[in-house]
Structure 1
Amino acid sequence: MRRRHFLQTLSLGAGAAALPAAMPAFAAAASTAVAATQPANDREYWWRMLDRIASPVVENLARGQLVRNMPVEKGANYGPEPAATYVEAVGRCYAGLAPWLALPDDAGEEGKRRRALREQALQGLANAVDPRSPDKLDFGAKWQPIVDAAYLAHALLRAPDALWTPLDARTKQRLIAAFQSLRDRKPWYNNWLLFAAMSETFLRSVDAAWDPMRVDYAINKLEEWYVGDGWYSDGPNFAYDYYNGFVMHPMMVDVLRVHSQRDKAFTEKYQRALKRMRRFGEQQERMISPEGTFPPIGRSITYRASGFQPLAQLALMERLPEKVTPGQVRAALTAVTRNVYDHPGTFDANGWLTLGFVGHQPEIADYYTSTGSLYMATLSFLPLGLPADNAFWTAPAEDWTAKRAWSGRSFPKDYHVDY
Structure 2
Amino acid sequence: MRTTGTSATSTPKLMRGGPADDPALSPHTGWTRAHWEHLADGMLDAVRPYATPHQALIHLPGPASGSGRHSDGLEGYARTFLLAAFRIAGAGGTGGTAALAERYARGLVAGTDPASPERWPRMSECNQAKVEAASIALALHETRPWIWDRLDGPAQGRVVDWLSEMVGAEVPDNNWVWFQAIVEAFLRSVGGPWEQADIEHTLARTETWYAGGGWYADGADTPPPLRNFDHYSGWALHLYPLWYCRISGEAAEPGLADRYRSRLRDYLTDLQHLVGADGSPLHQGRSLTYRHAAAAPFWSDQIFGAQALAPGLTRRIGSGMLRYFTERGSLDRHGLLSLGWYGEHLPIRQSYSGPASPYWASKGFAGLLLPADHPVWTAVEEPLPVERGDFVRTLHAPGWIASGTRADGIVRIANHGSDHADQGPVSQHAYDPFYCRWAYSTATGPELGGPGPVAGPDGVTRPSTPDLDLPGGPLDSHVALVDTEGRPSHRRPLHRLAVSGASAASQHRACRPGRDGEDGPWLTTGSVLRGSWEVRAVRVDGDAPGSLLRIGGWAVAGRQPPAQRTGADRAVARTEDGLEAHAVALHGPLRPGVRSSTGRTSYGPHAATVHLESQREPHPGEVYVAAIALGRAVGAVPEATVHEAAGQQGVDVRVAWPDGHTDVLRLDRFSEPPTPSKGS
TM-score (norm 1): 0.81
Match of 2:251 in 1: 262
Match of 1:205 in 2: 189
What secondary structure, in the 3-state scheme, does the structure 1 residue paired with 2:236 have?
A: helix
* d(CA) in 1 for partners of 2:57, 2:83: 21
Quote the offset at 1:232 in angstroms.
1.1
Match of 2:63 in 1: 73
* d(CA) in 1 for partners of 2:214, 2:120: 36
Quote the offset at 1:277 in angstroms.
1.6
1:54 aligns with 2:44: yes
What secondary structure, in the 3-state scheme, does the structure 1 residue paired with 2:96 have?
A: helix
What secondary structure, in the 3-state scheme, does the structure 1 residue paired with 2:157 have?
A: helix
Match of 1:342 in 2: 327
1:240 aligns with 2:221: no
Match of 2:69 in 1: 82
What secondary structure, in the 3-state scheme, does the structure 2 residue paired with 1:89 have?
A: helix
Quote the offset at 1:258 in angstroms.
3.8
Match of 1:249 in 2: 238
Match of 1:18 in 2: none
1:187 aligns with 2:176: no
Quote the offset at 1:3 in angstroms.
7.1
Match of 2:122 in 1: 139
- Spell out, residue by residue over 1:342-395, the C-alpha distance to the aligned partner (whole angstroms, 9 max, x if none): 222x23333222100111111111111011211101111111112212211111
Greater alpha carbon shift after TM alignment, 169-178 vs 131-140? 131-140
* d(CA) in 2 for partners of 1:91, 1:327: 30
Cα separation, partners in 2 of 1:82 and 1:63, compared to 1, 3 Å: closer
1:386 aligns with 2:370: yes
1:402 aligns with 2:386: yes
Matching residue within 282, 285, 306 for 2:272: 285
Greater alpha carbon shift after TM alignment, 118-127 vs 292-301? 118-127
* d(CA) in 1 for partners of 2:288, 2:216: 18
Letter in 1 for 2:111: A
Percent of counterpart pairs with the same letter?
25
Residue pairs, 1:216-365, within 5 angstroms: 216-235=200-219, 236-237=221-222, 238-259=227-248, 261-262=250-251, 266-321=253-308, 324-344=309-329, 346-365=330-349
* d(CA) in 2 for partners of 1:55, 1:279: 38
* d(CA) in 2 for partners of 1:66, 1:157: 18
What secondary structure, in the 3-state scheme, does the structure 1 residue paired with 2:211 have?
A: strand
Cα separation, partners in 2 of 1:101 and 1:184, compared to 1, 3 Å: same
Q: CA RMSD in A?
A: 2.8
Match of 1:114 in 2: 97
Letter in 2 for 1:353: L
Contact 1:196/1:214, CA 8 A, preserved across alignment: yes
Cα separation, partners in 2 of 1:66 and 1:124, compared to 1, 3 Å: closer
What secondary structure, in the 3-state scheme, does the structure 2 residue paired with 1:119 have?
A: helix
Cα separation, partners in 2 of 1:105 and 1:349, compared to 1, 3 Å: same
- Spell out, residue by residue over 1:110-155, the C-alpha distance to the aligned partner (whole angstroms, 9 max, x if none): x523233222222222222234544322124421111110111121
* d(CA) in 1 for partners of 2:262, 2:92: 33
Greater alpha carbon shift after TM alignment, 249-258 vs 52-61? 52-61
* d(CA) in 2 for partners of 1:91, 1:316: 21
Question: Which structure: greater helix fraction?
Answer: 1
Cα separation, partners in 2 of 1:267 and 1:352, compared to 1, 3 Å: same
Quote the offset at 1:289 in angstroms.
1.3
* d(CA) in 2 for partners of 1:185, 1:117: 32
* d(CA) in 1 for partners of 2:92, 2:244: 28
What secondary structure, in the 3-state scheme, does the structure 2 residue paired with 1:359 have?
A: coil
Matching residue within 95, 102, 109 for 1:126: 109
Quote the offset at 1:65 in angstroms.
5.4
Quote the offset at 1:301 in angstroms.
0.4
What secondary structure, in the 3-state scheme, does the structure 1 residue paired with 2:319 have?
A: helix
Cα separation, partners in 2 of 1:56 and 1:134, compared to 1, 3 Å: farther
* d(CA) in 1 for partners of 2:325, 2:56: 25
Contact 1:143/1:185, CA 8 A, preserved across alignment: no
Quote the offset at 1:248 in angstroms.
0.9
* d(CA) in 2 for partners of 1:105, 1:156: 14
Cα separation, partners in 2 of 1:134 and 1:4, compared to 1, 3 Å: farther
* d(CA) in 1 for partners of 2:356, 2:14: 24
Contact 1:306/1:380, CA 8 A, preserved across alignment: yes
Match of 1:22 in 2: none
Using CA pairs below 8 Å that are at least 6 residues apart, which structure has the higher relative contact order? 1
Quote the offset at 1:156 in angstroms.
1.8
Cα separation, partners in 2 of 1:103 and 1:209, compared to 1, 3 Å: same
Gaps of 5+ in 2: 7-11, 23-31, 391-405, 408-499, 502-680
Match of 2:360 in 1: 376
* d(CA) in 2 for partners of 1:157, 1:285: 29
Match of 1:9 in 2: none
Cα separation, partners in 2 of 1:295 and 1:380, compared to 1, 3 Å: same
Letter in 1 for 2:121: D
Cα separation, partners in 2 of 1:260 and 1:101, compared to 1, 3 Å: closer
* d(CA) in 1 for partners of 2:269, 2:193: 37
What secondary structure, in the 3-state scheme, does the structure 2 residue paired with 1:371 have?
A: coil
1:94 aligns with 2:77: no
What secondary structure, in the 3-state scheme, does the structure 2 residue paired with 1:227 have?
A: strand
* d(CA) in 2 for partners of 1:99, 1:65: 18
Gaps of 5+ in 1: 6-30, 409-414
What secondary structure, in the 3-state scheme, does the structure 1 residue paired with 2:356 have?
A: helix
* d(CA) in 2 for partners of 1:64, 1:139: 18
Question: Which structure: greater strand fraction?
Answer: 2
1:35 aligns with 2:11: no
TM-score (norm 2): 0.51
- Spell out, residue by residue over 1:162-201, the C-alpha distance to the aligned partner (whole angstroms, 9 max, x if none): 3321222222111110111234741011111111111111
Contact 1:281/1:320, CA 8 A, preserved across alignment: no
* d(CA) in 2 for partners of 1:152, 1:34: 28
Match of 1:171 in 2: 155
* d(CA) in 1 for partners of 2:50, 2:188: 30
Quote the offset at 1:218 in angstroms.
0.7
- Spell out, residue by residue over 1:194-238, the C-alpha distance to the aligned partner (whole angstroms, 9 max, x if none): 111111111111111111111110111101211100111211353
Quote the offset at 1:245 in angstroms.
2.0
Cα separation, partners in 2 of 1:171 and 1:82, compared to 1, 3 Å: same
Quote the offset at 1:403 in angstroms.
1.4
* d(CA) in 2 for partners of 1:171, 1:39: 43
* d(CA) in 1 for partners of 2:186, 2:141: 6
* d(CA) in 1 for partners of 2:116, 2:336: 22
Contact 2:275/2:281, CA 8 A, preserved across alignment: yes
* d(CA) in 1 for partners of 2:45, 2:268: 29
Letter in 1 for 2:63: E
The count of aligned residue pairs is 373
